[in-house]
């Protein structure tokens, strides 16, 4: 029978059992007898301490290598409950020294279960506090001070909404990222690029088990792993343009509030973009916040101030602020009308101050008489564009708005982007259950009514006019590099849409936009003596909640567009008055005009990624 045949194979199993047990006993002999003394010493007196070393997060550089976000060393107070639970009096004593309430400390202690890692109580304490803890060392068993890198935003509020901020991981984030090795007490990016690229830039924490003597002094290291710093981000931002834009906005808001008495002009946003690839050169949202406040744990006072500010400093208005695009939308209406042959460049329409079907007119009630396309665009004539809306119909308007990418996310690599809204019949039917009226088409044609767009979307529309219809995904990071500069990941232009506009239409729209910034146009005054030819469109968007929002969108140089600038000032009034001066200062920085002499002064030349 078969058993006989394979009986010896069963014996092989028995032999294996002998080998297994002999091998294991030999290993035990080695550990317990040969090396026993060594391990005995380690275990003796419970002398092992865990010393984690937090990895520094990657640095953010601007496109020219200027350091924008880095780290600085700071002291962090932690509790290590390794020789039993932390005693009540230790917590009370510590509370008095560092100014964190005993309840808050207890909450952190009880939140950390089943772990032997230090419980971080307060980050970034001052040297004086360190000294006081050292003085009371004997009364504070289990309290340790670690040196930790603290995130440092070199220019404080500069580009705060782009960079975001970091702070301690919360329960939800911990649950989501546990598999990726995140631990309680970790620092995690909460907003902006810090959040989006957290995994790339956080690095790998190091640390070791250290044997200490009775007084807590390290005697030897039992295992040590150096922390690996995170990867660096090379941004597409240009520090000079970003700074100029923020300063220009701050100055202009002050001017508007004071001289012009626009008392509610307290918020604004700007986007500066390379139309040929989607690189963001600057992005401003005002008011801003100081991300450094979060790095070492934000104080209740500062947090309250941010939360109570009616102008929402924590929102990135450049990507999440939805405004009626106002007259900047006339670019879309004009393109649609020309492309669909609803009007010829030569046809003149009579503006008597009001449209003949519905008595809607120009803002100031002026009448421009017989005007053609170019004049209508340059002077931003409403009656002419009402008629364009009338001829196109809402569906064609919607179609072209969507072809330009409106009503949809641009796909920028930042969290919290808004998609805006394109006026359309389905939306009205769904939300209000009502039919569409012609007057609403009129509103839609001049960027009012239901139309909503973010400054970034308008920058994208302007880029498409500048580059001939290519819609690039806007992006902020050109590459991720290791500490030694080796590229890990490169980012380049990504075309996400192409609105095929005929050359004839493009030329006409561009010429009309050029006129906006020359003597005849709405932005002509401010750009009168500007050495570089620009093309643009102003917008004054009615705001049911206050003063009008002021828009300006432009590109330059006119013949060879390399920069698109979009500015919106909330409740700033007229686009020409409130926003155009900001755009001019941004362009001055971009083209190095009237700038204070700086090192390597040269005209700004966009670098192309890849």
Residues lying near another protein in the complex (CB under 8 A) are found at 2-3, 5-7, 9-14, 16-18, 20-21, 23-25, 27-29, 31-33, 35-40, 42-46, 48, 50, 52, 83, 114, 116-117, 178-181, 205, 207-209, 222-225
- Dihedral, 499, 502, 507, 509 alpha carbons, nearest 10: -50
Q: How far is the CB of 599 from another protein (least distance, A)?
A: 44
- CA nearest to 553, candidates 574, 528, 573, 583: 583
179 vs 431 by CB, closer to another protein: 179
> Cβ distance 474 to 459 under 8 Å?
yes
Q: How far is the CB of 479 from another protein (least distance, A)?
A: 24
Q: Each residue of 398-419: b (16+ CB within 10 Å) or e? A: bebbbbbbbbebbbbbbbebbb
Q: Phi and psi of 485, rounded to 5°? A: 90, 0
Angle at 281 between CA 277 and CA 285, to 5 degrees: 125
Q: How far is the CB of 19 from another protein (least distance, A)?
A: 9
Q: What does the alpha-carbon distance between residue 538 and residue 79 come to, in Å, rounded to a whole number?
A: 58
For residue 560, give the DSSP letter.
S
209 vs 543 by CB, closer to another protein: 209
Q: Phi and psi of 294, rounded to 5°? A: -85, -25
13 vs 610 by CB, closer to another protein: 13
20 vs 147 by CB, closer to another protein: 20
Q: Phi and psi of 316, rounded to 5°? A: -90, 90
Other CB atoms within 10 A of residue 51 CB: 18
> Cβ distance 122 to 297 under 8 Å?
yes
22 vs 488 by CB, closer to another protein: 22
24 vs 490 by CB, closer to another protein: 24
Q: How far is the CB of 3 from another protein (least distance, A)?
A: 6
Q: Which two tokens stand for residue 287?
A: 């008011």
Q: How far is the CB of 14 from another protein (least distance, A)?
A: 4
3-state helix/strand/coil string of 69-134 = EEEEEEEEEEECHHHCCCCHHHHHHHHHHHCCCHHHHHHHHHHCCCCCCCEEEEEEECHHHHHHHH
Q: How far is the CB of 488 from another protein (least distance, A)?
A: 17
72 vs 225 by CB, closer to another protein: 225
Classify the C-alpha dihedral 375-378-383-385 as positive or negative. Answer: positive
46 vs 502 by CB, closer to another protein: 46
116 vs 370 by CB, closer to another protein: 116
* Residue showing tokens 């939805």: 322
180 vs 364 by CB, closer to another protein: 180
Other CB atoms within 10 A of residue 227 CB: 16
Q: How far is the CB of 469 from another protein (least distance, A)?
A: 43
Question: What sections of 259-351 are H helices per DSSP?
Answer: 292-295, 300-308, 317-320, 330-339
Q: How far is the CB of 84 from another protein (least distance, A)?
A: 8
Q: How far is the CB of 82 from another protein (least distance, A)?
A: 8
Q: What does the alpha-carbon distance between residue 417 and residue 266 come to, in Å, rounded to a whole number?
A: 21
43 vs 490 by CB, closer to another protein: 43
Other CB atoms within 10 A of residue 191 CB: 23
Q: Which two tokens stand for residue 142?
A: 């289990």
* Residue showing tokens 């710093």: 229
Q: How far is the CB of 57 from another protein (least distance, A)?
A: 19
* Residue showing tokens 């009448």: 367
Q: How far is the CB of 183 from another protein (least distance, A)?
A: 9
């Amino acid at each position: 029978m078969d058993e006989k045949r394979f009986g010896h194979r069963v014996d092989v199993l028995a032999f294996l059992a002998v080998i297994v047990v002999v091998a294991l006993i030999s290993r035990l002999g080695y550990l317990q007898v040969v090396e026993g003394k060594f391990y005995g010493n380690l275990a003796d007196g419970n002398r092992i301490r865990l010393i984690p070393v937090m990895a520094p997060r990657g640095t953010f550089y601007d496109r020219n290598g200027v350091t924008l976000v880095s780290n600085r060393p700071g002291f962090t107070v932690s509790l290590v409950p390794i020789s039993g639970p932390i005693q009540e009096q230790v917590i009370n004593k510590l509370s008095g020294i560092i100014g964190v309430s005993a309840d808050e400390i207890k909450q952190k202690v009880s939140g950390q279960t089943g772990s032997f890692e230090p419980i971080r109580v307060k980050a970034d304490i001052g040297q004086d506090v360190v000294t006081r803890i050292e003085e009371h060392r004997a009364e504070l068993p289990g309290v340790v001070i670690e040196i930790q890198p603290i995130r440092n935003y070199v220019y404080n509020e500069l580009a705060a909404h782009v960079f975001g901020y970091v702070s301690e991981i919360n329960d939800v984030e911990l649950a989501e990222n546990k598999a990726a090795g995140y631990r309680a007490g970790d620092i995690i990016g909460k907003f902006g690029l810090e959040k989006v690229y957290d995994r790339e830039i956080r690095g790998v924490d190091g640390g070791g088990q250290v044997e200490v003597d009775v007084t807590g002094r390290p005697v030897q290291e039992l295992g040590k792993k150096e922390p690996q710093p995170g990867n660096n981000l090379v941004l597409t931002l240009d520090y000079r343009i970003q700074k100029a834009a923020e300063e220009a906005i701050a100055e202009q808001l002050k001017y508007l509030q004071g001289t012009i008495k626009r008392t509610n002009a307290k918020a604004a946003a700007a986007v500066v973009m390379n139309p040929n690839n989607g690189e963001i050169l600057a992005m401003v949202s005002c008011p801003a916040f100081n991300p450094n406040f979060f790095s070492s744990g934000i104080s209740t006072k500062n947090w309250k101030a941010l939360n109570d500010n009616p102008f929402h400093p924590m929102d990135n208005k450049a990507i999440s602020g939805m405004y009626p695009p106002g007259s900047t939308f006339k670019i879309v209406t004009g393109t649609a009308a020309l492309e669909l042959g609803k009007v010829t460049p030569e046809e003149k329409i009579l503006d008597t101050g009001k449209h003949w079907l519905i008595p809607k007119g120009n803002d100031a009630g002026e009448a421009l008489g017989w005007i053609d396309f170019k004049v209508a665009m340059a002077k931003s004539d409403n009656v002419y564009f009402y008629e364009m809306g009338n001829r196109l119909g809402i569906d064609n308007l919607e179609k072209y708005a969507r072809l330009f990418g409106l009503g949809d996310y641009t796909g920028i690599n930042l969290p919290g982007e808004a998609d805006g809204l394109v006026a359309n019949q389905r939306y009205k039917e769904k939300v209000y259950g009502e039919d569409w009226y012609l007057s609403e088409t009129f509103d839609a044609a001049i960027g009012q009514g239901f139309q909503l767009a973010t400054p970034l979307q308008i920058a994208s529309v302007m880029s498409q006019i500048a580059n001939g219809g290519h819609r690039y995904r806007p992006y902020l990071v050109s590459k991720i590099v290791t500490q030694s500069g080796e590229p890990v990941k490169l980012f380049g232009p990504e075309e996400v849409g192409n609105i095929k506009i005929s050359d004839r239409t493009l030329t006409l729209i561009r010429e009309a936009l050029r006129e906006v910034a020359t003597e005849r146009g709405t932005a002509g005054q401010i750009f009168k003596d500007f050495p570089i030819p620009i093309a643009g469109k102003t917008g004054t968007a009615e705001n049911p909640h206050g003063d009008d929002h002021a828009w300006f969108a432009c590109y330059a140089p006119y013949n060879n567009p390399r920069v698109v600038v979009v500015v919106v000032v909330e409740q700033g009034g007229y686009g020409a008055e409130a926003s155009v001066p900001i755009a001019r200062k941004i362009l001055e920085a971009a083209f190095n005009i009237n700038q204070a002499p700086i090192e390597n002064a040269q005209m700004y030349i966009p670098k192309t990624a890849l």
